[in-house]
Amino acid sequence: TFSLNYASMWIVRFAVDPSMQILAAGNERGCIHLWDIGARSVKPFRRLHVHRTAIIRCVGFSPDGAILTASTDDGFIYRWNVSREPPTSPRCKK
């Protein structure tokens, strides 16, 4: 079980990378949480934040799993290189 705060909107789109190791889901405050599916921890190993507070409507991985994209309610599309190493974004609330 993975918990996602601020996700009371009627639909939450999530994605799993092609290797079936990383789960990504966004919330209504513009934060995307990444979980290691195989880890015993239910806490995300990384949080990404878009540059505004907007509902994340869709997330998706590239075919090789190296890139994550997200679209928001206000029409923006964001892109990140996926890594397990960078620190958690301080703007995302737990």
* 87 has pLDDT over 60: no
Judged by DSSP in three states, 72 sits in strand
Phi-psi region of 30 (alpha: psi -120 to 50; beta: other; left: phi over 0): left
Average pLDDT, stretch 2-6? 85
pLDDT at 92: 62
Task: Name every residue whose Cβ is closer than 8 Å to that of residue 62 and which is 6 or more positions away in sequence.
Answer: 68, 69
* 34 has pLDDT over 60: yes
Full-model pTM: 0.82
